[in-house]
Amino acid sequence: MSGRGPIAVLDVGGTHVRHALWSPREGLAEVVDTPSPSRLRHPESSVEELKGRLLAAICDAVPAGPGAVAGISFGAALDQRSGMVYGSAPLFGDETTPLDLPGALRERRPDVEWHVVNDVTAALLHFVSAPRRQGHRKVLLMTVSSGIACRTVDLRTGTIATDACGLQGEVGHLPAVARIAGAPAELNCDCGRPGHVASYSSGPGLRRLADVLRERDADRWRTSELGRLMAQGTAFEAALGGALDAADELAAELLDAATAPVADVLRTALCLDPELDELAVTGGVATGLGKHYEASLHRHFTHQGLYLTGERAPQWLTDRITVCAPGDANGLIGAGIAALGATAAFTPSAAAGNPVPAGSAAPTPSAARVPRHHAVVRDGSGLHLSPLPTPEPGPGELLVAPTVAGVCGTDLQMLRGLRDDGAPVLGHEGVARIVAVGAGIEDPRLTPGTHVVVNPTHPTDPSFLLGHNVDGLLQERALIPAPAVRGGLVLPLPEVPPGVLGALIEPLAVVRYAALAMGEHRPRTLLVMGDGTVGHLAVRTARRWYGPDVRTVHVHHTGGGLDWSARTPYAADVRLRYGDLSAERLGEALGDGPVAVLLATPSPATLPCLELALDATAGTDTVVDLVGGLPRPAVSPRLPGIDLAALRAANCGGLPQPPYTARLKTANGHKVRVLGHRGVAGEHLLYAAAELCRAPERYRDLVTHVVDLAGAVPVLSRLGAGQDRVVSGRRLIKLAVRMGEPA
């Protein structure tokens, strides 16, 4: 950055002021979160006092030093051309006296180069920097938080159009109506006027609607899950999320009332501009409620879509709507992108302000390079912690330093001789940091210091299968070959899951892929067979990813696994042991209605579990996903003439899209849909990483054992020599290996 240090980035909203240091090489440093000095928090203060406190908080967050640069994502209606703030209802109430924010900051801190953009603009800059959006024409991003606004970018020209005042997308203050408990509700917006979109759909608006519902329908409120949780003292946001998870009808009615004005805006936007290839919704309300928010929007669009298009091509609208996962639209990173785009050392790319270094990429020196590093190596005599020469990355290659790696059932099968994969170093799950870059790397995000997740499965090149035929992540340094880099398999992480949760990214991505593929069949029951990491993740995400009404039936291989599940706070609705089951008993547990079957089993158990599931669901609308491995030959008398291994391999690395699903008949003439998949797409991995950042406590207990690289050798040796999953007297679900720096 022209010799300068990292950029100070701030995200200023009506609830929080977040700040950190950021650079494209190192990513975000630790984020500091403080309460905003806002009207909501200090109702007794004058507007001038509030502005003074805010300016002081911003200036205090920027470290002193030569060449200091700050990028600010500011939650307000502001002139995109000058940074002039016209008003922010959450921050200043109904005050609209202009504030020259850049000028006021320069007056207080002339040593800093200030860059100010609207918070939605900042989030949009980050959102459209994702490679999969490079082919889009236009993208709209709406934030639904303490305030509501949107921005639209034309990616063909790299421009965000504005009006005569430098504004765009102040949709929170458009007229709107809402109905709750069968009657209209007229509520004030934070700007002081009644009947705006934000009156009902913002975070404060949603709480106001809840108050109206509680007053109008007190008996129903009292007996609802939402009312019960709030009566226990649960905060409103957590209570609403919990009630929606529990399929509380009153909570769903409340959410639908709040999302109706948002759906109206999105529907109108697409009606007026069909070149919008994606309309994304982010912000604390939308992202926090995730799948529930998306389902509510879809209910509105199903009830009333676009004229004629809603009947002839009903998916055209819903396919363009994205509810962002955490980290998808990060205002802090967007503020840094905006600041970089204004510096002489960087030029904005066609991707709407995604900055790339001027000039071509070249090999980058790194103090982190070392002549030798340690790895867990397997050979004919077992496992060893061995020093290996550290390679220099060649053209198109990356050298990464794994920070945490997970051990999965496939790794144990290789250790037990059940698979003939030849890589001496195992490990295909985890997070790494780039330490050196070979010549010719075109992606400007792939720079030393960037944390990445590596997709272990190349969809079209079988020569790359990380930890199987290419050395994996159980080492202090790993070389990622050029085909994997060119194929987009090295994915920068906007935010790294805390602690050792990075070990869960790949298995959670597998579950995400399965949920997207099978969720389209709208199952009433999800049958999960297998009590390893994938099985438990499938149970924990079922109601969020399949719908709030889905039942979960979890079949365990051992009594120990059954006992472990019974003690978790996220156990399935029905828990069974495989050895105790008949087809009749399993069928009774599944009940009526469509069934989705996820086989998360080791290869010796996959065919027996498939056959039991087919027998139990005979005559029922059933879809099966062969997530687990398969023995050779992979044939079953239940599905005569079908090569199940070939069927499973038909979907690889996220391709084709949508995934291939075979429509088959069993030997008894019953119809069943069967798919499988080897690996996942990059978008599944990034979604999984964001999910782990959003709700770490939901998944933390699944990482039952943590060791360092040296400690992994005896644990893996013992697991490879036996068949049980008990380590140090405790059942193993996921083993995470922390990596250090080479000595």
Q: Is 700 a member of any domain?
A: no
Q: pLDDT per residue over 260-307, tens digit each?
A: 999 999 999 999 999 999 999 999 999 999 999 999 999 999 888 888
The domain that holds 189 is classified in CATH as 3.30.420.40
* Nearest residue to 508 via CA among 559, 473, 481, 544: 544
- Lookup result for tokens 């070959």: 481
* Dist CA 731 CA 724 (whole Å): 9
Residues 312, 348: one domain? no
Alpha helices in 246-394 (DSSP H): 249-272, 284-303, 309-312, 315-318, 331-341
In the three-class reduction of DSSP (H, G, I as helix; E, B as strand; rest coil), residue 29 is classed as coil
Q: Is 144 a member of any domain?
A: yes
Q: Per-residue pLDDT for 145 more than 70?
A: yes
**DSSP secondary-structure letter at 592?**
S
Lowest mean pLDDT among 211-225, 311-325, 492-506, 713-727: 311-325
Q: Is 135 a member of any domain?
A: yes
The domain that holds 389 is classified in CATH as 3.90.180.10
C-alpha atoms less than 13 angstroms from C-alpha of 302 in its C-beta half-sphere = 7
Q: What is the number of structural domains in the chain? A: 4
In the three-class reduction of DSSP (H, G, I as helix; E, B as strand; rest coil), residue 404 is classed as strand
Contacting residues for 319 by C-beta, under 8 A, at least 6 apart:
none
* Dist CA 198 CA 89 (whole Å): 10
- Lookup result for tokens 């049980």: 724
| pLDDT bracket for residue 95 (50, 70, 90) | low
Mean pLDDT of the chain: 89
Lowest mean pLDDT among 176-190, 313-327, 396-410: 313-327
Residues 546, 424: one domain? no
Q: Is 498 a member of any domain?
A: no
Q: Is 741 a member of any domain?
A: no
Residues 315, 269: one domain? yes
* Dist CA 218 CA 139 (whole Å): 42
* Amino acid sitting at position 734: K
b/e for 572-601, b at 16 or more Cβ within 10 A?
bebbbebeebeeeebbebbeeebbbbbbbb
Neighbours of 633 (CB within 10 A): 10
Give the structural domain span for 667. 506-676
Q: Per-residue pLDDT for 342 more than 60?
A: no
Quick check: 99 and 54 in contact, CB under 8 A?
Answer: no
Alpha helices in 83-196 (DSSP H): 89-92, 101-108, 119-127
Read off the tokens for 428. Answer: 């295909």
Residues 618, 486: one domain? no
* Dist CA 90 CA 203 (whole Å): 10
Q: Is 190 a member of any domain?
A: yes
What is residue 610's predicted lDDT score, i.e. its pLDDT? 97
Neighbours of 431 (CB within 10 A): 25
Residues 139, 278: one domain? yes
Residues 100, 184: one domain? no
Show the beta-strand stretches assigned E in 473-621: 478-480, 490-492, 525-529, 551-556, 574-577, 595-599
What is residue 361's predicted lDDT score, i.e. its pLDDT? 32
Q: What is each CA distance from 587 to 85, 204, 692, in whole angstroms?
A: 63, 46, 34
Residues 61, 115: one domain? yes
Q: Is 690 a member of any domain?
A: no
Report field, pTM of the whole predicted structure over 0.85: no
Q: pLDDT per residue over 625-653, tens digit each?
A: 999 989 888 999 999 999 999 999 999 99
Residue 90, Cβ density class (10 Å: 0-12 exposed, 13-18 middle, ≥19 buried):
buried
Lowest mean pLDDT among 255-259, 448-452, 505-509: 448-452
Residues 347, 485: one domain? no
Of all helices (H) and strands (E), which one includes residue 675? Answer: strand 671-676
Q: Is 738 a member of any domain?
A: no
* Dist CA 158 CA 110 (whole Å): 30
* Dist CA 648 CA 674 (whole Å): 9
The domain that holds 618 is classified in CATH as 3.40.50.720
Quick check: 297 and 259 in contact, CB under 8 A?
Answer: yes
* Dist CA 374 CA 251 (whole Å): 53
What is residue 89's predicted lDDT score, i.e. its pLDDT? 67
Residues 393, 456: one domain? yes
Q: What is each CA distance from 384 to 5, 391, 715, 736, in whole angstroms?
A: 41, 20, 12, 18
Maximum Cα–Cα distance across the chain: 81
Residues 605, 523: one domain? yes
Residues 346, 388: one domain? no
Residues 484, 520: one domain? no
**DSSP secondary-structure letter at 475?**
B
